[in-house]
Amino acid sequence: MLKMIRIDPPHGAPDYARQVIDYLGDDGEASQRAFEPLLAQIHASLDAQLNTFVNDPRQCFSDEEQFPCRNRLSGHYYIGSQTFEGYSGDGDYQLWIQIRCLEQTTHAETDYLGLEVICSFTPATSELLIEESFNTSVI
């Protein structure tokens, strides 16, 4: 079983993936303020979700010919960016989190697997929804 551990962005991480904060919509900063007290809970949930993902043979494969390959993962990941989205009068906020999983190469750990998850929050009802699946990409 592989255990994924969150780390700070590594020295070689690209500038656009060093815990960058972005905003979408005219109320993006309000979205950030709404999500701020929930971030520890969200990150803990994502940690558990990520560990389930990498150990599920239907989602993360042991075959080197398939992507993503669990055997290539180093066991480390970091948050590359968080995008807060909000629009005046809408009342709902979105948070897009980009996770970057590392692989162990001969000389260092490098980015290998990108995962994106979307969270939604409705302040009026305090309802927080975290997508149960990841959008995956090669990075």
Residue range 16-73, pLDDT digits in tens: 999 999 999 999 999 999 999 999 999 999 999 999 999 999 999 999 899 999 999 9
Q: Assess if residue 93 is contained within a domain.
A: yes
The predicted model scores a pTM of 0.91
CB contact set of 14 (below 8 Å; sequence gap of 6+): 111
- Position 88 pLDDT exceeds 90: no
Q: Assess if residue 14 is contained within a domain.
A: no
Q: Assess if residue 41 is contained within a domain.
A: yes
Q: Assess if residue 85 is contained within a domain.
A: yes
**Residue 93 to residue 28: CA distance in whole angstroms:** 8
pLDDT score, position 81: 97
Give ∠ CA 130-18-48 in degrees, rounded to 5.
Answer: 30
- Amino acid identity of residue 89, one-letter, is G
Q: What are phi and psi of 32, to 5 degrees?
A: -60, -45
Q: Assess if residue 44 is contained within a domain.
A: yes
Domain that holds residue 36: 5-9+20-138
Q: Assess if residue 58 is contained within a domain.
A: yes
Q: Assess if residue 15 is contained within a domain.
A: no
- Position 107 pLDDT exceeds 90: no
Q: Report which secondary-structure segment, H or E, holds 42.
A: helix 39-54
Number of domains the chain contains: 1
Q: Report which secondary-structure segment, H or E, holds 40.
A: helix 39-54
- Position 104 pLDDT exceeds 90: no
Q: Assess if residue 88 is contained within a domain.
A: yes
**If you average pLDDT over residues 77-88, what whole number do you get?**
96
Q: Which two tokens stand for residue 131?
A: 């997508």
**Residue 52 to residue 77: CA distance in whole angstroms:** 14
